[in-house]
A and B are shown apart, each in its own frame.
Chain A
Amino acid sequence: MNVLSGLINGAISGATPILLAALGGAFTFYAGVFNIAMEGMMLMAAFCAVWGSFTFGSWAAGVLLAILGALALALIFIVFAVWLDTDEFVTGIALNLFTLGATTYLLRQSFGVKGVFAGPGIDPIPRLQLPFIADIPILGAILSGQNLMVYVAALATLLSAFLIFRTRFGLQLRAAGYNAASLDSSGVSSARMRAYSLLLCGMLCGLAGAFLSLGYVVLFSENMSAGRGWISLAAIILVSGNPWGIALISLLFGFADVLGLLLQSYQVPSQFTAMTPYLATLVALYFYARRHRKERRYVNR
């Protein structure tokens, strides 16, 4: 039982950053923005979180700075892709590259190390013990005692679904993605909707990055987002942006992550086990493509 609950906790832990980032990406997806900058936003947030937590000795400061860092990137995206009409794909790639360089540079500048910064001075995000729920026989160990950010992620899923499907904001957001010209002719600026979606994405990726470096592990290493932004993107595409679907897929990826660790105990080399989430993405993409294959109309000649 302990092994199983350990596995489940590991899966939840692995799923959380992907879930948060993918929720952010869902907003931009619905708004019709081709957003591939989640990888960069997460990485920047992860660095800012460690810096803030170390410098101020408080995880809350870290989380706040993480959000601000990711929002800064979102603002740059807005300036270039929404205001100046630069190609969104290019803007996203440029931002990712910029962030990779900036965080590596700042890692050296601020902490004087290359590669990894870890240590006792970093205040991690605490776990939350829920008083009555912890006493529930089997589920208690899972539902209570998770990292605070896990509960935030669950709440975020709920709020996102509500925002997107029940509110005026959500109706206009989705209209911006379905038919931006129609929204503009209704008197609502689709460009403004795209900007809002990017700001929301920045906030959520900020939370994701903060959890990465202050919860999942407690350190910052170069390029530590390690492709999770791409997995989030895949998750969004696979469920067409639906927040509940995203939660489910993120859990699946979390399991793949944990599976990797499990395989290690069977003498499978660590390099192969590390591949599992990425192989899982390929498998998921296969099923997605098969479902949509009927929509490929043209004859292959």
Chain B
Amino acid sequence: MGRVLNAALGIVIALTLGALIMWAQGYDPLASYAALFQFSLGDPYALATTFKNAIPLVLTGLSAAIAFASGPVNLGQPGQLLMGALAATIGGLYLDLPPLAMIPTLALLAMAAGALWSGLAALLRQVFGMSEFIVTLMLNIIADYFTLWAITYPFKDAAAYSPMTPPIATSGWLPEFGDWNSGVLWMLAATALMWLLLTRTRPGYEWRIGGQNALFARLGGCPVDRNFVTVMLLTGALAGLAGGLLIMGGPHRFLRGLGANYAWDGVMIAIVANNSLPGVLLYGLFFAAIQTGALGMELITAVPSEIVMVLQGVLVLVIVASREALHQFADRLAARRQAQRRAKHASLVESAEQA
């Protein structure tokens, strides 16, 4: 109950602030929000697009949430996503299998590449003690430049004017069912699987407890260091998969600037959802909705779509701050009420004794 209240409060405040900004700049907030809604959830096509756009958000969100809840500070989703996308692209350029085999193969390649990239950070931590916080951040930027080089030189589409690869084989394109992209199924399946993993299995239990108190887990017999590596590999794979699905379900080729919009959203979603996996799914869909709707909003009322990024930042701050504040507020109210009761009781007793 508290979490829903928290979310609602945060969303209301963020949207109100956004409206104020729009109004101050001379735009019509109500019309803008109406357009936002229309173009994200208002009709079946918009809804399908929102779900499709949610795929990388939810997958990177799962990656960040599982990592944070288990201990490793994996901030490398942007880089792992890019490596996964690159691997899927290369596979799609050189392999040609029937779709039933092609799509899982490319997905596996993407996951492997993402895991490799996060595994590198895990290795540096285990062997040399280098903080994965900083390493994953640096690897993000390195991956960005590396993939840029890859699509500018070795894998460049000779016919294109700007850096990009040729399109991948059509057998690797994710099938669509009407407006709906099958990547959505992958997203939902991943969420469900990860949730089961974390709540019903022994590794999931050890990861969660290890994330809350590593010393306690270690003393209890959990292989904390081995679990660290496993979690890094798993979360890297999830982010890599996000990249692969982006290619297979989206432009079908690696373009410059791919995934730039999704850079930090995964981390943001994990934070706002407090590492809860169902929460990641819901917040992922929400952010996808406002991002999708923003483009349409710009068409109708000319509000630059980038304002959505501002809204997202405000939302994160407000939700996280109010999470703590609501707790303390409720506790303090209860305490004050009890104190007043005791004082009243004491004075009643006193007057009874005097009588």
Contacts and interface: CB of A to CB of B under 8 A. Distances in A.
B312 A282 contact: no
Given A275-B145, A278-B138, A94 B317 contact: yes
B145 to A, nearest CB: 4
A113 to B, nearest CB: 11
B78 to A, nearest CB: 11
Interface stretch (B85-93, B146-154, B177-185, B330-338): B146-154
A281 B136 CA distance: 12
Interface in B115-153: 124, 126, 128-131, 134-135, 137-138, 140-142, 145-146, 148-149, 152-153
Q: Is the interface of B mostly helix, strand, loop or mixed?
A: helix
A105 B314 CA distance: 14
A93 B268 contact: yes
B304 A230 contact: no
B325 interface: yes
A80 B152 CA distance: 43
Contacts of A94: 268, 271, 313, 316-317, 320
Contacts of B311: 101
B264 A96 contact: yes
A101 B306 contact: yes
A271 B324 CA distance: 43
B222 to A, nearest CB: 10
Interface stretch (A120-128, A159-167, A288-296): A288-296
B25 A101 contact: no
B25 A281 contact: no
A269 B321 CA distance: 45
A233 B134 contact: yes
Contact of A230 (B137, B309, B316, B324): B137
Q: Which of B130, B304, B321 has the most C-beta atoms of chain A within 10 angstroms of its own C-beta?
A: B321
Given A87-B320, A97-B264, A102 B225 contact: no
Contacts of B325: 84
Q: Is the interface of A mostly helix, strand, loop or mixed?
A: helix
Contact of A234 (B134, B304, B309, B314): B134
A227 interface: yes
B309 A104 contact: yes
A266 interface: no
Nearest to A77: B317
A102 B321 contact: no
Contact of A93 (B146, B153, B264, B309): B264
B271 A227 contact: no
Contact of A298 (B148, B218, B324): B218
B283 to A, nearest CB: 14
B158 interface: no
A221 interface: no
Nearest to A293: B129
A274 B313 contact: no
Interface in A264-292: 269, 271-272, 274-275, 278-279, 281-282, 285-286, 288-290, 292
Contacts of B135: 282, 285
Contact of B304 (A76, A109, A227): A109
10 contacts: A87-B320, A93-B316, A94-B268, A97-B316, A98-B314, A105-B304, A237-B131, A281-B138, A282-B124, A296-B129
Interface of A: 76, 80, 84-87, 90-91, 93-102, 104-105, 108-109, 226-227, 230, 233-234, 237, 269, 271-272, 274-275, 278-279, 281-282, 285-286, 288-290, 292-293, 296, 298, 300-301
Given A93-B264, A275-B145, A285-B131, 13 more contacts: A96-B264, A100-B313, A102-B309, A104-B306, A105-B306, A109-B304, A230-B137, A274-B145, A278-B141, A285-B135, A286-B128, A286-B130, A293-B129
